[in-house]
Structure 1
Amino acid sequence: MHILISPNAFKHSLTAEEAASAISEGLMQSRLDCTCECFPIGDGGDGTGELIIKKCKGQLVNADVTDPLGRKINASFGLIDGGRTAIIEMANASGLRLLEPGELDPLHASSFGTGQQIKLALDKGARKIIIGMGGSATVDGATGMLKALGIHFLNAECKELGMLPADLTDLASVDLSTLDERINDTEVVVLCDVDNMLLGKNGAAAVFGPQKGASVENVKKLDSALAKLAEVALQQTGKDMSTIKKGGTAGGAAAGLYAFLNAKLVNGIEYFLHLTDFDKALEKSDLVITGEGSVDEQTLQGKGPFGVAQSAKQKGLPVIGLAGMVPLVRNENLKKYFDVLLAIGNQPFDLPAALACSAANLKRTSAELGDLLAIAK
């Protein structure tokens, strides 16, 4: 039996690579006679870019940029396809993991550093930019990135706004005349792991603002700021940021790049699987194991394990899903794609303890799963 092991990251616990390794180790400890291929996956979330760079044997580029609060840091991005395509992980320059809990401040956090990386990629000759937006610390509608690329955000007196996104409610116009001309000949692709729109109760500020440190009052301010940005963008570009599906990704950064850079917003896992030639790995497999922290109805909205399971089912392969949490009641929609869903917990735990035991629990569950498959054979 040849088993393809393709988990997503287990959020706040394991990277996709670490999860795949734990599953493989568990299977090797079992009585099952099998071979395994680890093919960790990403759906646009934090870590997706790194996986693409490794899978495509890309080159890392390190450079000094600014973090979400404007401090100088060293961050990397990747070049693949002979340097023609850049892979940028937004979290590397503009991520939550760069900030201490007490530093979270989405009213003032900027994506400027990611824009600096885009500019550096253009300097290197890249004419296709793929951006994974998971794990960002910002709700600035990409204004920081766009500012790094030469765009100016002006008030009614044609003076540049001092603080983004906090001052966006005073936005009157956007000066596009100084935008880096090279971007016009560059394809920009945004890998999205959510479908949220830009505004409203399910929008960028309301859903993602609190995760990035926004108070109830700040969520209202951020939503108003993004609404103003969308209003001006529509006037000047003819593109409506507020109606584009997936526009709420990364605090509205996806919508901002769509409006001002003509970016393509794509389903992250579908794009990842195509780019990394996942079908080739499926062709030699007898069984697929995937998973992430939680597998539930939301998984079917385009999350990584769903993309894996959907691809496997198209080739008639059985799929096993492993997760920290699965539905208590049998879910027929999930059963269409996951032949077996297993929760990896071994005893009642609070969340911090459960997260700390994820690797051990994955390894143990996979070993038991291997023994069960050996009996079935």
Structure 2
Amino acid sequence: MDFNIEEIIIRVLQNTVSEEEMHFFSEWIHLTDKNKKLFFELKNIYDYRKGDLYIDGVELETGWNRLWAKLQKSKSKDEIVVTKKKSILFNRWKIATTAAVAGFLIWGVTLFYIRQETSVTWVEVHNPACSLPKTIHLPDGSWVQLNASSYLRYPKKFKNEERKVYLDGEALFNVIKQENKLFIVHSNKQQINVLGTRFNVMDYSTDAYSVTTLISGKVQLETFDEEKNLRDRIVMSPEQQLRFDAYTGQITLNQTDTHEVISWTNGIYSFQDVPLQQITDRLSKMYGVTIIVTDKESRAEKYTGKFSSNQSIEEVMRIINFHGEFRTIFSNDSITIALK
């Protein structure tokens, strides 16, 4: 099947991507650092588009011209988001069949380039793959531990009645309680409303699911459909874990061992009865490699284990494959898991 990476990126951002497309996207984004950077710039664009900033015609034209110039600098067909062959689709004067995509890019890039000129100054933190957890202190005294392959965006100063932050990836939040000032975490598939609490969120844009674990306090979690309409609103209690599947819309709420969930902050990763595909997704983000499980049924097989972030990917794969059920093929920055 032929894939169009521009269209797939849009569907990833809108949570309408198919499982097969997500598998292709995961391979593409781990191919080069440039792919990752371009995707997350487009994600920033998409997030800002959902805001309420006013943009006039001059700013719109300036923003579009800047993005166009930036895209033209890229020469590699495999590393750019909009290829030369397809670039005409994103010209705002020739948007016949992809008006929605072009529209969001034009509006979004304007916001991306002028955001430093608005009243809110944003701080963006990226913790790359193969990195130790990074501690971030927020302006209200709250603090966040950001896992590898994760992004956090927050204002330099919280204003008004809300404290909003944006997450792509995994983070442990320790939120200071402030009366009548809600703390809101926007991630790819959900929104979490908080007054004061401690909780862990894992929500990568490259995954079809999100996992939220409440350690103490109380949070209200909201999920949305592809049109950004409210789908569900759930109030969580301590030691509960909520898993949301964006493909099916299914929500699972269970009791969990919170110590194991946040063990990553100490460099320990535990998993119990977790499908192989979820484990390899996590390893891909930790070690910056592409992991392909060739057998579809094997992706759903569940495994239990524990390893340290100090261990090599080869050692970790040996732990998972303790019973020798599959063979592992290493090649540069990719790993293939196949049945024997």
Please report the TM-score for the alignment, with normalisation by the length of structure 2: 0.26
Q: Which has the larger radius of gyration?
A: 1
The structure where strand makes up a greater share of residues is 2
Query: Higher RCO, 1 or 2 (CA under 8 Å, sep at least 6)?
Result: 1
Greater share of residues in helix: 1
Q: Give the TM-score taking structure 1 as reference length.
A: 0.24
